[in-house]
Structure 1
Amino acid sequence: MDLGQVFTSPIVARYMVSLLNVSKSSSILDPCFGNGAFINACLDEGYTNITGYEIDNHLYNSVKQVQPRLKLYNSDYLQADEAKKFDAILMNPPYIRHEKIDELSYIGISKKTLRLNPIFLELPTTANMYMYFIIKALQMLNIDGNLVVIFPSSWLNARSGKSFEQLISKQATIEKQIHISGEVFQKSALVDVVILCIKKTIEKSDREIIHLNLSDDVITPRIIQRSTKKLIATPVPFHIYANVRRGLTTGANDIFINPPLKHNNEYLISIVSSPKSIIGFSTTAAITDHLLWLHGEKKKFPKSVQEYLSQCKKMIISTQKPKTLYLKIQQHYSWYELSDIDSDGILFSYFVRNDMKFIMNTTNVLARDNFYIIKPQIDRHLLFALLNNYYTFYQLERMGKKYGAGLLKLQRYDIEKILFPDIASISSSDKEHLINLSKHMIDNNEDMIAQITLIISRYMNCNYKEICEDYALIKQQRLEDK
């Protein structure tokens, strides 16, 4: 039975107890006490009025035997009486994705049964189990009570996370957001977690952002990443200066990319498929692949093309893969026709492995979905400079999702969150200098990023030296994340 149990290390449990701002006589709740890490840490700090819930029989019995005097219940916390109130709640809620919640229906837990409780109705349908626990905990806190919770930080970059945070803000304020990495859990490789210190109050306060690392049972501070909003003197949102879309998706690269039809060049067009095939900052010298580009009735194509399409069609029908093309065949569409994608603009890779760079599509070559295509709404060379600098790279490093081995994945909505300096505040001479640097970089494939950053720094709250150091540090942390 998978109950999403990931046990908190004793050092983290003690640290979280230290964040409580309540008296030693206060009532404390652990809604899913597991192996008792928070209970032990609370007792060590002199707290004795402790209540706990644990649905796992084995874990409940092992802790109850050691602490028979505590109010411990072998039951589902989400079914607990919300009339009970506590001064503080500590927890490491279950890590169960929303798609797997219904797999617990055999013990009476499902999305349907959870949503019978009105307090959960405003949660997004994609809410993971820990969100239910946190909303329930807020209901059971006394006014001015403390909730200290550790859970995955992925929600901070998810669209559902915004509505979740708004739901918290209706009845409480997040006082501290503590990012902690390293040996956080006893038997887990999960490192991207956050500790929230929440106070149940209608009075709002500024949130303190803290970054910590845990190694060899020692918690040490990491540099607090600079707020993006405070980075730029007069921030302008991405959509004012540009828009973005993904490149061409074929649905079946093995069929469409470099097909065995070398003698039918009229049906093959160039496409840039990989960032590795691009040299420097333009597509001028890019190594391209051949894309099968067919529009019209199949019977009008040469015999070799028709035979190739027939073979591919049989394979798709027999395997029913890829699904998109199989459905097009079933619906009698021309399954081999691809959508026309305007790739004119500035290209950026979906994944970043080492250095970031934005590429000017000087040859207007078609770009595959390994790239984002950025369409300028201002002078393209000026936008090119606003993209290719350490201020923008720093923002993307913060927003992207780490995939290990130094790999960073960036979604379209990450790109759309980029903030630019207001070009109206940039002097005419500096604009001209930025445009000339961009042109030189595009024509000569020479790295001018430092020079561009230096000019842009005149219009930022964070100076050139600071952004270079901050970007180098956050990039180093990613590349060392093996």
Structure 2
Amino acid sequence: MNNQELYCQKTDSSHRKKFGQFFTHPDVAQFMTNWVLASGQKTIYDPAFGLGAFYLPIKHREDINFHGSEIDSTVLDFGLDSSLDSSLDSSLNVKLSIKIEDYLLTWGKQHQNIVCNPPYMRFQKFLNRDQVAKEFQEKLGIKLSGYTNTASAFLLKSISEMDGKGRLAYVMPLEFLNTGYGTMVKQELIINKHLVSIIKLDCEKEIFPDATTSVGIILYDSYKKYDAVNFYSLDSVNSLKEIAKLVPTKNILTNDLKPNTKWLPYFQKDALIVKNNELVSLREYGRFSRGIATGANEFFVLKPSDLKHKLFLATEYLPCITRSSQIKKTIFDLEDYQQLVAQDAPVYLFAAHDQHSEAADRYIQYGVSQEFDRRFLTKSRNPWYKTEKREPSHLWLGVFSRGGYKVVLNRSNALNLTCFHGFQPNLLGINQIEKLFLYLSSQVGRQIISLSMRKYGGDLDKFEPNDLNMALVPAPSYFDQMPEDLVKDAITWIEKTGTIPQNIDEYFAPLARMESQSLIV
């Protein structure tokens, strides 16, 4: 059992989650340290030392100075007790110096080589987030997005600390390549043409068994400028040893890399070529927004049987889809909803007003006794039991998916929780709902919309509302040419079979094509 396994066995998972600890595979650490030391510089700095994964491969090499920072004394003590401390082994040549400190709050240093597997915490769990954001603004003139995770903040800070003589290698969750907050990170990576390669590790479960996001390696050389960036997609850790002999999935001119575009498609061997002159952003027709977030589904979500003994007024609860699994058909109507009611499914949302019944008041007091009013979301609402006000959405699109997203034409009066994003049309979009639904359901539509997905580990995909709103859909002129009989017959076919008719796929097919070794235009 190695030191990583021993540490995970002896520490609680809640502790590791608190500090965003995901430990580096030895082969990945070996590759990264070898790459940065090829700069010729003999000093390495690791901003998140942890168990010393990057120190172990080089601890017997001569004339290497290894410095590091670590915020968690527990993981550092465990690592040092595992004979990492050079003073405990006379055969070690590397000079090791580690400080207990918060890297994101420690400023004023420059480094030759940096190698790091930064802690990964989403913005909700970002330690000292407000203070970190303030110092980034003051020290770097960078305003961090509220959605920035810790790993991206580490990378931004490390890029600013390179002394211009060495290299940087970072293990990173690659979701930033397709997100809004990642625009700033991508800008800093390419602004001075020091980005060498981004390696996507499709074997992320082999490397980080507990990871829920796609993983990759950023290679950055502060000493040289590069006119193009290599994008690699590897299905084995062993491939890292042969990467110098591999042909990259894509080789993109640095000047052609745009920070505000999505980069994950560059890891695909076949690129989707879309006809931009026939497409517009979805926001031309309306907007998707996330579903209702209650903050305490155990309290707010009700079954029909709950209503019978709680005696709420009919105005104190609303029809609501609370789980993606409740939707079995791509066209959902009132009859489908009534079937869920008959099955006593949890399809009601508690929605008491300020002037509510005694029955609702008793239920609210019950909620207080169970401390539902002190949850993260509920404690910021006034009153705490008042949920977000929404209208039923015309289209639902699943937030998470594997192997293809779920899109639903909603003909019921049901609201939806956060299992779906809901679409509300504007004046232009109100007459295009069925055509948008058919496009989103078609093969080409799915391919184009999927360019806006965020990729996570285990083939898990996720949409954010803004990603969808910026996704490409047919222009009004394209929809206007779509025969109404074609639309009507397609909807009838879907109602009967649950499948998209072939002529719909054929109608949208001219909007895009797959092309080998090409770029998205």
State the alpha-carbon separation in 1 of the partners of residues 454 and 486 from structure 2: 26
2:38 pairs with 1:16: no
Structure 1 equivalent of residue 473 of structure 2: 420
Give the conservation status (yes or no) of the 8 Å contact 1:272–1:286: no
C-alpha distance in 2 between matches for 1:432 and 1:348: 24
Q: Report the Cα distance in structure 2 between the residues aligned to 1:308 and 1:336, rounded to whole angstroms.
A: 14
Same amino acid, percent of matched pairs: 17
Amino acid at match of 1:447: T
Q: Distance in 2 between matches of 1:241 and 1:251?
A: 30
Shift of 1:113: 12
Counterpart selection for 1:260 from 301, 307, 321? 307
1:453 to 492, 502, 505: 505
Matches within 5 A, 1:240-255: 240-249=284-293, 253=297, 254-255=299-300
The separation in 2 between residues aligned to 1:57 and 1:336, in whole angstroms, is: 46
Give the structure 2 partner of residue 287 of structure 1.
337
| Alignment gaps of 5+ in structure 2 | 1-14, 70-75, 251-263, 342-346, 517-521
Q: Deviation per CA, 1:329-383, whole angstroms, max 9, x where unpaired? A: 9x6x6x7766552214112233436653322223444444433221344422221
Written as runs of structure 1 = structure 2, the 5 A alignment for 1:148-159 is 148-157=169-178, 159=180
Q: Tell me, yes or no, if the aligned pair for 2:395 and 2:422 is still in contact at 8 Å.
A: yes
Structure 2 residue aligned with 1:179: 200
TM-aligned CA distance change 1:433 to 1:167, over 3 Å: farther
TM-score (norm 1): 0.71
**Aligned partners of 1:68, 1:117: CA distance in 2, in Å?**
41
Query: How many angstroms apart in 2 are the aligned matches of 1:437 and 1:186?
Result: 49
Aligned to 1:166: 187
* Structure 1 pair 150–211 and aligned structure 2 pair: CA distance change class (3 A): same
What is the total number of aligned residue pairs between the two structures?
441
Matches within 5 A, 1:253-402: 253=297, 254-255=299-300, 257=302, 258=304, 259-261=306-308, 266-267=314-315, 270-284=319-333, 285-288=335-338, 289=341, 291=348, 297-298=355-356, 306-323=357-374, 340-352=389-401, 355-376=404-425, 377-378=428-429, 379-394=432-447, 395-396=449-450, 399-400=453-454, 402=456
Structure 1 residue 91 corresponds to structure 2 residue 140: no
Take 1:62 and 1:275, find their aligned partners in 2: how far apart are those partners? Answer: 49
TM-score scaled by structure 2?
0.66
Q: 2:275 aligns with which of 207, 226, 233?
A: 233
Does structure 2 retain, via aligned residues, the 8 Å contact 1:34–1:54? no
Residue 312 of structure 1 and its aligned partner are, at CA, apart by 0.5
1:161-192 alpha-carbon deviations (Å, 9 max, x no partner): 33333344455543322121436787863363
Matched, 1:122 2:137: no
Cα-to-partner distance string for 1:425-481 (whole Å, 9 max, x where unaligned): 6793x5658635643345435311654333322121427xx9xxxxxxxxxxxxxxx
Q: Does 1:72 align with 2:119?
A: no
Query: Residues 132, 410 of structure 1: CA spacing in aligned structure 2 closer, same or farther, 3 A cutoff?
Result: closer
Whether the 8 Å CA contact 2:136–2:142 is kept in 1: the answer is no
Determine if the alignment matches structure 1 residue 210 to structure 2 residue 260.
no
Q: Decide whether the 8 Å contact of 1:17 with 1:90 is kept in 2.
A: yes
Task: Give the drift of 1:308.
Answer: 1.9
Superposed CA RMSD: 4.7
CA contact (8 A) 2:445 2:508 kept: no
The letter of the residue matching 2:440 is L
Verify the 8 A CA contact 1:255 1:312 in the aligned structure 2. no
SS in 2 for 1:309: helix
> Does the CA contact (< 8 Å) of 1:212 and 1:219 recur in 2?
no
Q: Residue 439 of structure 1 aligns with which residue?
A: 491
Deviation at 1:250, TM superposition (A): 5.4
Structure 1 pair 282–450 and aligned structure 2 pair: CA distance change class (3 A): same
Deviations for 1:253-272, whole angstroms, at most 9, x for unmatched residues?
54563342388885465444
Q: CA separation in 1, counterparts of 2:93 and 2:326?
A: 67
What is residue 219 of structure 2 aligned with on the other side?
197
2: CA distance between counterparts of 1:328 and 1:30? 42
The amino acid of 1:89's aligned partner reads: I
Aligned-partner Cα distance in 2 for 1:264–1:128: 42
In structure 2, the CA distance between the partners of 1:293 and 1:73, relative to structure 1 (3 Å rule), is closer
- Structure 1 stretch 390-399 or stretch 339-348: which is displaced more? 390-399
CA distance in 2 between partners of 1:184 and 1:233 (Å): 36
Decide which moves more: 6-15 or 418-427: 418-427
Structure 1: distance between partners of 2:132 and 2:408: 48
